[in-house]
Amino acid sequence: MLQVTKGASNTLVLTLTEKTTLTNPYYLFYLLGGDQTVVTWIAQPSASDSRKDTFVFIEGTTATLTEQIYQYYVYEQTSSNNINPSLATSLVEKGQLKVNDVNEQAYQMPTNTTQYHY
């Protein structure tokens, strides 16, 4: 599951290149929220190798998301401005993306500083 923090610069790492058929494609990100909200944006990786593609997503600038879990779909395409998935070349990845409040902290296991001797 991808994680995005509201109001922050987020790094999204996906495995797209190995499933992509186009040379130097644009990727259409299509998000469908549980409340039926649709959010789209187009991007090219900020870094890429044969195993992973890295995207910088600035919540509130790239797109504005509400705190919820979205189903995401990433399509490869030649267009730099198409936001209609049915006009994209093909679907290359899908999954879930959770949007967290900037003040929400991830759970951390407490550290046990007490030693027990039996």
Q: For residue 85, is it left (φ>0), alpha (ψ between -120 and 50) or beta?
A: alpha
The tally of domains found in the chain comes to 1
Q: What's 57's domain CATH number?
A: 2.60.40
Residue 70: count other Cβ atoms within 10 Å of its Cβ: 24
User: Sorting pLDDT into bands at 50, 70 and 90, what band is 113?
Assistant: low
Q: CB–CB of 63/72 below 8 Å?
A: no
Q: Which of 93, 89, 91 is nearest to 53 (CA)?
A: 93
Residue 109 within any structural domain of the chain: no
Residue 72 within any structural domain of the chain: yes
Q: Which two tokens stand for residue 108?
A: 């951390």
**Domain residues for 42?**
2-98
Helix, coil or strand: residue 53: strand
For 43, counting Cβ atoms within 10 Å of its Cβ (0-12 exposed, 13-18 middle, 19+ buried), the class is: middle
pLDDT, tens digit, 9 for 90 and up, residues 40-97: 999 999 988 878 999 999 999 999 999 999 999 999 999 999 999 999 999 999 999 9
pTM: 0.83
Residue 110 within any structural domain of the chain: no
